[in-house]
Amino acid sequence: MTSIRTTSSLALTAALALSCGVFAEKSERESLRSQGGVAGQTCSCTGDFDNNGLINGADLGTLLGGWGGAQFDLTGDGIVDGADLGTILGAWGACAAPANDNCLDAIAVEIGDAVPFCTTNATELQQGVSGSCGSVATNIFNDVWFNFVPEGDGELTLSTCGADFDTIIAVYTSTIPGLNSCPPVDGGVGTASLIGCNDDSNLCATNSLQSRLTVDVIAGKSYKIRVGGFAGAAGSGTLNVSFKSVGAQCFDGILVNGQDNTVKTVTGTTVDNFVNEAPCGGGPSKGEWITYIPTCQNQDVKLSTCYPETDFDTVITVYRESISGGCTALEIVCVDDTQSQACLLDGLFRKSKADFLASAGETYHILVSGFNATKEGNYKLTIETNCFNP
């Protein structure tokens, strides 16, 4: 009986406080809860039992209905009591904006991530997208922000397929490398530029209101990802992050045209690519492909990874393509370690040089890979071409 009377007394006290406007004078900042809307959580916060982003009378009723039990305990002591009542009354009002509500607080994402998000209590940047995101969308409402920095060049694909509201995705980056990639408000001055935006994508589903966007990205640059709603829509969903590296596959290699008396340089990384197996390596390893096209009848081609920018044990393999055999129809040359001072890595010969003869009308595929599965990293490859008459 004591607990029942206590419940009734507390409920009466709470009801009187609400009716007298005790909580009405709380500032918006004081009423916000730090947990609400944070990426990776639901749209609720502590005390928001109905998950609507707001702590109000409905949540108070839920708490009081569970008085003396453990189900709605907020303080972790295993029982709903006066401490829990104090907690919920102290948090009265809207849940906090998400931790990544502002571009400068963007949450880092990586390849393969599936990041839950909630925009219910997010604000929006006054930066319009009219004409850049379909014919209807003019702004992105209740937006949250993420940041992606690729290790290599490639295609970044983002999607909100399956979200419970009408979403929009936009991606920004700085026009000047190294400077702020967050866009300014409309009319403001900044270095960030919108490079892609999607409102509704049929790649999610037919007549979908969710979004899917693919943009080209450059190694080392910062890309700010803006996820929000159309026309004030808000809710929860998952941001899916995938990446297709340039040169990840033989048939999609980095294109280099061989020109007489020239040296061309390719810099890249193998860490975000598929596993291949070089004939002269020590086992399967990640590698990057370069497609080489001769421009004169006969060419002497010299390849080298023997530069300070190369930070792992490399193998260079060259194949000649054929219609029947595909990219790797004929192995031309494979070199693991080259005995040259420039090819030293940690005091050992671990980098590679290779030479081959190329002919016009043929297509060659160069694979830069590691010696084995533990060898991957950044590389610099030079391709020196000299034409000659036999």
Whether pLDDT at 22 is above 80:
no
Do residues 131 and 222 share a domain? yes
Residues 90 and 34 in one domain: yes
Residue 366 pLDDT class (50, 70, 90 cuts): very high
Residue 140 sits in a domain whose CATH number is 2.60.120.380
227 and 313 within one domain: no
Q: Which residues contact 373 (CB under 8 A, 6 or more apart)?
A: 275, 283, 284, 285
Tell whether pTM > 0.85.
no
Instruction: Tell me, yes or no, whether 23 and 72 share the same domain.
Output: yes
Of the candidates 273, 268, 256, 269, the residue with the CA atom closest to the CA atom of residue 365: 256
Of 124, 81, 78, 84, nearest to 101 by C-alpha is: 124
| CATH number for the domain harbouring residue 374 | 2.60.120.510
Tell which of 199, 219, 245 closes a domain. Answer: 245
d(CA 219, CA 223): 10
Same-domain pairing of 81 and 39: yes
Return d(Cα 255, Cα 306) in angstroms, integer: 21
**Domain coverage including residue 356:** 250-387
Same domain, residue pair 65 and 134: no
CA atoms of 143 and 302, how far apart (whole Å): 51
Residue 5 or 194, more confident:
194
Q: Extract the tokens encoding 297.
A: 């009848």
Q: Does 17 have pLDDT greater than 70?
A: no
Residue 50 has a pLDDT of: 83
The mean pLDDT of 277-305, rounded to a whole number, is 94
**Residue 53 has which token pair?**
């982003």
User: What's the average model confidence in pLDDT over 159-169?
Assistant: 95
From CA 102, how far away is CA 60, in angstroms rounded? 31
Res. 37: pLDDT tops 60: no
Q: Is the domain of 90 the same as that of 164?
A: no
Which residues contact residue 294 at a Cβ distance below 8 angstroms, ignoring those fewer than 6 apart?
A: 258, 301, 358, 359, 360, 361, 362, 364, 385
Q: Among the listed ranges 12-21, 44-53, 82-91, which one has the minimum average pLDDT value? A: 12-21
Mean pLDDT of 76-91: 93
Query: In this predicted structure, what is the pLDDT of residue 42?
Result: 53
Q: Where is average pLDDT lowest: 176-190, 224-238, 353-367?
A: 176-190
Residues 261 and 215 in one domain: no
Domain boundary among 94, 113, 143: 94
Question: Is there a single domain that holds both residue 237 and residue 254?
Answer: no
Calculate mean pLDDT across residues 30-51: 56
Q: Please tell me whether residues 321 and 196 are part of one structural domain.
A: no
- Asked if 115 and 232 sit in the same domain, the reply is yes
Helix intervals (H) in 95-240: none
Per-residue pLDDT of 92-128, as tens digits, reads 988 888 889 999 999 999 988 999 999 988 988 888 8
Q: How far apart are alpha carbons 6 and 380 in whole angstroms?
A: 74
Instruction: Give the chain's mean pLDDT.
Output: 86
Question: Structurally, how many domains does the chain consist of?
Answer: 3
Mark whether 239 and 302 lie in a shared domain: no
Closest to 303 in 3D by CA, of 351, 349, 271 = 351
Q: Which residue, 94, 119, 154, sits at the end of a domain?
A: 94
Share of the chain above pLDDT 70, in %: 88
Nearest Cα to Cα of residue 145 among 182, 110, 102, 186: 102
Identify the pLDDT of residue 65.
Answer: 95
How far is it, in rounded angstroms, from Cα 88 to Cα 24? Answer: 15
